[in-house]
Every structure is written in structure tokens, then in C-alpha cells.
Amino acid sequence: MRRIVLAGVAVLVCGMFSGCDRISGTDGPAVQTRPDDVPELPETPLSFPAGINDPYENVVQYYQELDESVTAAEQQIYAYHNQYALYDMDQDGTLELLIKLGYSEADFQYTVWMLDEDGNPVQVEGVAGGAHTALYGSDEKPGFFTNSCHMGSQVVKNYTLTENKELSETIVYEAFLAEETEQLYGYYELTSAEGYFWLKELPIGEYTYAESEQVRDTSISMTLEEYQKGLDSLRAADADAVG
């Protein structure tokens, strides 16, 4: 197992599915080949003028039209849908728009929009991985976090904006639960850590210009070190049983 931990980041565990049950359709659809008729997004960052009612109005309309171009039958087959969250990821008092795109759970990714000096929305260069992932924020740590859990593998990443307004990715934690006892021990859940919360994503068709709901959980408290100590104890016991 490889582990990279940022100083001061505390990440906690609940159960095997408590942290990652926020992810819809974690097994993904039966169809794994990208359909030809799913809209292709531009490779270069986009920009739009600010809307009349809110600065991201024209951006949202663009993604809503993409959603409408995919039929209901295709959405059921390929799980294609766009979701969004509004969150002040650089803590400057202005909301950034996070858009989740893709045709299946394994294909999802996030694009980030921010406002330039003139108040117009611009797409940040770079994307965040969205496969088998939920979004999280922190009261103190800048950026947003993804917590990707699938088939025993868990990766937590922190995405921040650079001085050049590009998306930067840092691995906070990475592990693989190989044995049955480890899987029963479970993934860890970021909302159990002090100051961390789940960012509730909504379908792009339900868009409103308001900060996304922040869901917190104070029912369980366990530091990453305590979680890892318990996991190491399980592995040592398994090794002794085999030996």
C-alpha cells in the first residue's frame, strides 16, 4: 500500500459503504463502451459572458442543452447525466461552479468554472476525476476533495487552483482493501473528520444559483492514524493466521 498524507489532513472511517454510499451507481452500467451519440465536449477551455440573473447562467444553459440532446432511453442505458455543485473552493468569497460529466460511473469527471476579473465565467484548465466519487469540502483546507471507492480501492484527492488558475491534483490518501476482513473493516469517511463536509450535487436541470448544501456527520470520530492502526492490526492478525 502507498500512502501520501498532507500535513494536518484528518480523514475518518465509518463502514465499508458508509463513506462511499454517497456515490450513485457505484457498479456502473452494464454497457462499458462509450456510445457514439454521447456529445463530445471541447478539449480547450470554454468561456461565456456573465448571465443576467447570475454569472453562470449561460454556462448552465450550455450543459442543460447537452443533457437535452441525449434521449431518456440513452440515459437509462448509459447513465449519462450532468450534475453540479456551487462551492467557494479558493475561499475568496466567490462561488466556483463544478460540473460532473460522463456517460457511466467509470467515465465521470469534473470541470471547474470560475469568474475572471470582469465577472465573466471561464473554464479552469484541467479536470478532476469523478469515477466512483463523491465531492467534499473543508472549513480550513482550500480546494475540494474527491473520495473514490471501488472494489476495495480507495483514493482521496485534493484539487486546488494554482496562481495561473489551473487545477492542481494532490493525492491525500491511497489504499487497497484486499482481504475480506479488511473489506469488513471498511473505507473511511471524510465527513467524520472535524471540519469536513459532503457537497451535495444536484442534476443540472435543477440548477439554482446558491451555494450547495454541506452535509456534516459528527456521529463518528476517528483520525486517519487510528484508522490505519486498526487496519494494520487486522493485516497482522491475518498474517499470523496464515503463518
Q: Does the pLDDT value for residue 180 go beyond 50?
A: yes
Predicted pLDDT at 200:
95
Strand runs labelled E in 116-217: 121-123, 128-129, 133-138, 144-150, 153-161, 167-176, 188-189, 196-199, 202-203, 214-215
Say which residue, 172 or 104, is predicted with more confidence. 172
Q: Counting beta carbons within 10 angstroms of the beta carbon of residue 100, is it exposed (0 to 12), middle (13 to 18) or buried (19 or more)?
A: buried
pLDDT at 102 over 60: yes
Identify the pLDDT of residue 73: 56
Kindly report, residue by residue over 130-140, the tens digit of the pLDDT. 777 889 999 99
Question: Does residue 239 surpass a pLDDT of 50?
Answer: yes
Cα gap 136→72, rounded to integer Å: 29
Cell matching residue 148 = 473514490
* Residue in the structure block whose three cell numbers are 462499458: 32
Top-confidence residue, 136 or 243 = 136
Would you say the C-alpha torsion 187, 192, 194, 197 has a positive or negative sign? positive
Average pLDDT of every residue of the chain: 76
Q: How confident is the model at residue 237 (pLDDT cuts 50, 70, 90)?
A: confident
pTM of the model: 0.76
Q: What is the mean pLDDT of residues 2-15?
A: 37
Reply yes or no on whether the pLDDT at 225 is more than 50.
yes
Per-residue model confidence (pLDDT) at position 242: 67
Asked if residue 22 lies in contact with residue 85, where contact means CB atoms within 8 angstroms, the answer is no
Quick check: 51 pLDDT over 80? no
The strand ranges marked E within 7-108 are: 12-13, 83-87, 96-101
